[in-house]
C-alpha cells in the first residue's frame, strides 16, 4: 500500500481550518484539528486490527473481541471517527464528540487520562451558538472523511503525523502561539542529529524536561534500535502536553511517562523524594525565558543551582543546570539546544559556565546554521555535557555554514548531520571546521565559549593581479570612449 504523504495530511488540515475561520482565534485551530486527526488515526488502526482478526478467526466475534481487548489501546464501541461522521448531522454533535473523547480516555486511563480535558467541542464561546456550531463540526468531520486520509499503519509507518501537522499549522498562524511554536517542536533533522550525537543504548532511561510535542524524545528513543529503553518528559503548556501524550501513543511509545507542569518550579519526575536520574537528557529549551522562577530558585530543595543562580530575565542556565543534575553520575550525557548567548554572556551565567568547565562537565559545543527553527531566525547551539568524559578538552564545531537553504526555513542535509557526528566521535581539530581546546586555552579566553574564538573560519582573499585588472579597466575605458563618441554623433544629427 502506498505510504501517505505528509502533504496529503497537511492539505486536509488546511481545509479543516476553513471551518473555524471567523469564529475562533487561529491559535486554537490546531487543538480541534489535531484531536480529530488523532481520533481518525485511532479509528483507522482499530479498523485495521478488526479486519485482521476477523480474517484470522474466520468471523468468530467473541474471539475477535477477546483479542482486541489485549491491544495496546482500546477504542470503545461507537466512539470511532466513522460513527461520529455518520452522526455528523445530529443536533448535538458537539456533545457526542465530547462523550466519545471521555469514553476513549476512560478506556485508556494509564495512557490518555486528562488528554482531552482542555478541549470542548460543545463550547458556545469558541464554536458559536448551536446552529453555527453544528454546521462547523459537520464540515470538520467531512473534511477528515476523505479517502486519501487513510491512516492505517501500513500507510503511516514511522512518520510523525501529529508533530509534523502541528508544525505545519503553527507555521501558518501569525499569532503569538505561532511565533513561539518552535519552543514546542524540534525540526526532525535537528532531533536526528542530537539523537546520533548522544547515541542512547539499550536499557537507557531517556528524558526531555521541556518535551513539547515529544518529537525530540521520540527520535532519541528510536535511535536505540531496540524497544529496551524508557522515555520520560515534562511539559508546562497544557495543550502541548496533551499533544505529546497523543504523539507517544501514535508512535507506540505507550509506556512513556509524560508529566504536566513547570520543570523548574515544580519538577514532577521524582524518585524517593529526589530528582530521577537518567542516562540521556535532551531538550530544546524555551530560549532565554524570562520569569523562569528566579525568586524561589535559591531555596530549591533539589539544590540544582549550586553553581550559581541564572539571571532573572534569562532561564537558559536554569534548564541546563536541571538537566545536568538529573544525569546519572559517572556516565550520564546531556544534549541541550540553546541560544548562542549561553556561550559568552557574563554575570551569573559566566560564573555557572566557568564552574561547569572546571568540573569537566562540558564536552562539545556545536554551532548550528541560522533559520533552522520555526519562529526564530537566530542560529542555535548544541551543548553536550558528559559525566563520563575521558578527556579534559572541549571540542568546538562550527557547522553554521552547511545547510540546505529554504524559503522560510533552512535544513540540515544528511551529509551535514553525518559530518557533525563523525567530527564529534573523532574528537579532533579539523581545519576551518572544528577545534579541540584545552582547559588552559578556555581559561585564557576567560571561559568565553564563543565558537569563532576557537574555530578559525577566515578565508583569505585570492591575490589580485594588478596588471590584469589595469588591462580590464583600460579596455572598459576604450569602450566607454567609443560609446560617448557615437552618442555625440547622434545628438548632432538631432540638432541637440
Q: What is the pLDDT of residue 481?
A: 83
Kindly give the pairing relationship between strand 280-284 and strand 205-208. parallel
CA dihedral 343, 349, 350, 356 (to 10 degrees): -80
Angle of helix 130-143 versus helix 26-56 axis, rounded to 10: 50
Inform me whether the pLDDT recorded for 405 exceeds 50.
Answer: yes
- For the segment 100-133, what is each residue's pLDDT rounded down to a tens digit? 999 999 999 999 999 999 899 999 988 999 999 9
Q: For residues 333 and 279, is the Cβ–Cβ distance under 8 A?
A: yes
Q: Which three cell numbers stand for residue 106?
A: 476512560
pLDDT value of residue 171: 64
State the greatest distance between any 2 C-alpha atoms of the chain, in Å, as a whole number: 105
Residue 177's pLDDT is 41
Cα–Cα distance for residue pair 227/214, rounded to 1 Å: 17
CATH of 6-178, one of 1.10.3720.10, 1.10.530.10, 1.20.1260.30, 1.20.1540.10: 1.20.1260.30
Give residue 349's pLDDT band: very low, low, confident or very high (50, 70, 90): very high
pLDDT at 178 over 50: no
The confidence score (pLDDT) of residue 487 equals: 83
Task: Please check the confidence at residue 418 and state whether its pLDDT lies above 80.
Answer: yes
Is the distance from CB of 279 to CB of 201 less than 8 angstroms? yes
- Predicted pLDDT of residue 470: 84
CB 354 within 8 A of CB 447: yes
Which residues pair with residue 338 across a beta bridge? 381
Region 207-213 average pLDDT: 94
State phi, psi for 386 to the nearest 5 degrees. -140, 115
Q: Is the pLDDT of residue 458 over 80?
A: no
Q: Strand 270-271 vs strand 274-275: parallel, antiparallel, or unpaired?
A: antiparallel
Q: What percent of the chain is predicted at pLDDT more than 70?
A: 95
What is the mean predicted confidence (pLDDT) over 190-210? 97
pLDDT for res 486: 84
Cβ neighbour number for residue 334 with a 10 Å cutoff? 26
Regarding the domain delimited by 181-453, which CATH topology (the fold level of the hierarchy) does it fall under?
Answer: Rossmann fold (3.40.50)
Q: Are the beta carbons of 222 and 280 closer than 8 angstroms? A: no
Residue 159: the pLDDT is 83
272-298: pLDDT as tens digits? 999 999 999 999 999 999 989 999 999
Name the least confident of 22-36, 256-270, 331-345: 22-36
User: What span, in angstroms and rounded, lies between the C-alpha atoms of 136 and 300?
Assistant: 48
- Of the chain, the end-to-end C-alpha distance in Å amounts to 78
CA distance 115 to 133: 22
Would you say 281 and 327 are in contact if contact means Cβ atoms under 8 Å apart?
Answer: yes
Q: Give the per-residue SS3 of the chain.
A: CCCCCHHHHHHHHHHHHCCCCCCCCHHHHHHHHHHHHHHHHHHHHHHHHHHHHHHHCCCCHHHHHHHHCCCCCCCCCCCCHHHHHHCCCCCCHHHHHHHHHHHHHHHCHHHHCCCCCCCCCCCHHHHCCHHHHHHHHHHHHHHCCCCCCCCCHHHHCCCCHHHHHHHHHHCCCCCHHHHCHHHCCCCHHHHHHHHHHHCCCCCCEEEECCCCCCHHHHHHHHCCCCCCCEEEEEECCHHHHHHHHHHHHHCCCCCCEEEECCCCCCCCCEECCEECCECEEEEECCCCCCCCCHHHHCCCCCCCCCCCCCCCCCCHHHHHHHHHHCECCCCCEEEEEEEHHHHCCCHHHHHHHHHHHHCCCEEEEEECCCCCCCCCCCCEEEEEEECCCCCCCEEEEECCCCCECCCCCCECCHHHHHHHHHHHHHCCCECCCEEEECHHHHHHCCCCCCHHHCCCCCCCCCCCCHHHHHHHHHHHHHHHHHHHHHHHHHHHHCCC
Question: How does the average pLDDT of the chain come out, rounded?
Answer: 91
Q: Read off the pTM.
A: 0.87
Quick one: pLDDT at residue 170? 73
Per cent of the chain over pLDDT 90 is 71
Q: How many residues are present in the chain?
A: 496
Count the Cβ atoms, other than its own, within 10 Å of residue 69: 8
For residues 142-162, average pLDDT? 90
What Cα–Cα distance (Å) separates residue 64 from each residue in 52, 252, 307, 334? Answer: 9, 22, 59, 46
Q: What is the mean pLDDT of residues 77-101?
A: 97
Q: pLDDT confidence of 459, banded at 50, 70, 90? A: low
The angle subtended at Cα 216 by Cα 154 and Cα 177, nearest 5°, is 100
How far is 13 from 162, CA to CA, in rounded Å? 11
Give residue 181's pLDDT band: very low, low, confident or very high (50, 70, 90): very low
Amino acid at each position: 500500500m502506498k505510504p501517505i504523504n505528509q502533504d496529503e495530511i497537511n492539505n486536509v488540515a488546511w481545509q479543516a481550518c476553513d471551518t473555524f475561520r471567523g469564529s475562533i482565534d487561529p491559535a486554537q485551530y490546531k487543538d480541534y484539528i489535531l484531536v480529530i486527526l488523532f481520533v481518525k488515526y485511532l479509528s483507522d488502526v482499530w479498523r485495521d486490527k478488526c479486519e485482521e482478526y476477523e480474517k484470522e478467526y474466520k468471523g468468530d466475534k467473541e474471539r475477535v473481541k477477546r483479542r482486541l481487548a489485549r491491544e495496546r489501546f482500546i477504542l470503545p464501541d461507537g466512539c470511532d471517527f466513522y460513527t461520529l461522521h455518520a452522526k455528523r448531522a445530529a443536533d448535538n454533535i458537539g456533545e457526542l464528540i465530547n462523550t466519545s473523547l471521555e469514553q476513549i480516555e476512560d478506556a485508556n486511563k494509564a495512557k490518555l487520562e486528562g488528554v482531552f480535558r482542555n478541549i470542548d467541542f460543545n463550547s458556545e464561546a469558541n464554536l458559536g451558538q448551536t446552529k453555527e456550531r453544528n454546521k462547523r463540526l459537520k464540515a470538520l468531520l467531512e473534511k477528515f472523511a476523505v479517502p486519501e486520509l487513510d491512516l492505517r499503519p501500513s500507510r503511516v509507518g514511522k512518520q510523525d503525523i501529529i508533530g509534523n501537522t502541528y508544525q505545519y499549522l503553527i507555521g501558518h498562524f501569525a499569532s503569538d502561539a505561532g511565533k513561539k511554536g518552535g519552543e514546542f517542536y524540534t525540526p526532525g533533522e535537528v532531533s536526528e542529529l542530537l539523537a546520533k550525537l548522544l547515541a542512547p543504548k539499550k536499557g537507557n532511561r531517556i528524558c526531555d524536561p521541556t518535551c513539547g510535542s515529544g518529537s525530540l524524545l521520540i527520535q532519541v528513543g528510536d535511535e536505540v534500535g531496540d524497544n529496551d529503553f524508557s522515555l520520560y518528559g515534562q511539559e508546562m503548556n497544557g495543550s502541548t502536553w496533551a499533544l505529546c501524550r497523543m504523539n507517544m501513543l501514535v508512535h507506540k511509545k505507550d509506556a512513556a511517562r509524560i508529566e504536566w507542569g513547570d520543570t523548574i518550579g515544580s519538577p514532577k519526575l521524582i524518585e524517593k523524594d529526589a530528582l530521577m536520574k537518567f542516562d540521556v537528557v535532551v531538550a530544546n529549551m524555551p530560549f532565554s525565558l524570562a520569569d523562569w522562577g528566579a525568586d524561589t530558585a535559591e531555596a530549591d530543595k533539589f539544590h540544582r543551582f549550586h553553581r550559581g543562580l541564572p539571571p532573572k530575565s534569562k532561564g537558559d542556565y536554569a534548564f541546563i543546570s536541571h538537566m545536568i543534575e538529573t544525569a546519572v553520575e559517572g556516565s550520564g550525557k546531556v544534549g541541550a539546544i540553546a541560544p548562542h548567548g549561553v556561550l559568552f554572556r557574563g554575570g551569573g551565567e559566566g560564573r555557572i559556565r566557568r564552574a561547569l568547565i572546571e568540573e569537566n562537565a562540558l564536552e562539545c559545543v556545536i554551532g548550528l546554521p541560522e533559520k533552522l527553527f520555526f519562529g526564530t531566525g537566530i542560529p542555535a547551539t548544541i551543548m553536550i555535557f558528559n559525566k563520563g568524559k575521558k578527556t579534559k578538552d572541549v571540542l568546538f564545531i562550527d557547522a553554521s555554514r552547511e545547510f540546505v537553504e529554504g524559503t522560510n526555513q533552512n535544513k540540515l542535509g544528511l551529509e551535514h548531520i553525518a559530518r557533525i557526528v563523525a567530527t564529534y566521535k573523532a574528537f579532533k581539530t579539523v581545519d576551518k571546521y572544528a577545534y579541540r581546546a584545552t582547559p588552559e586555552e578556555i581559561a585564557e579566553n576567560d571561559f568565553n565559549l564563543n565558537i569563532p574564538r576557537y574555530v578559525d573560519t577566515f578565508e583569505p582573499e585570492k591575490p589580485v593581479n594588478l596588471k590584469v585588472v589595469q588591462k580590464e579597466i583600460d579596455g572598459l575605458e576604450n569602450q566607454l570612449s567609443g560609446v560617448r563618441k557615437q552618442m555625440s554623433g547622434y545628438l548632432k544629427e538631432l540638432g541637440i
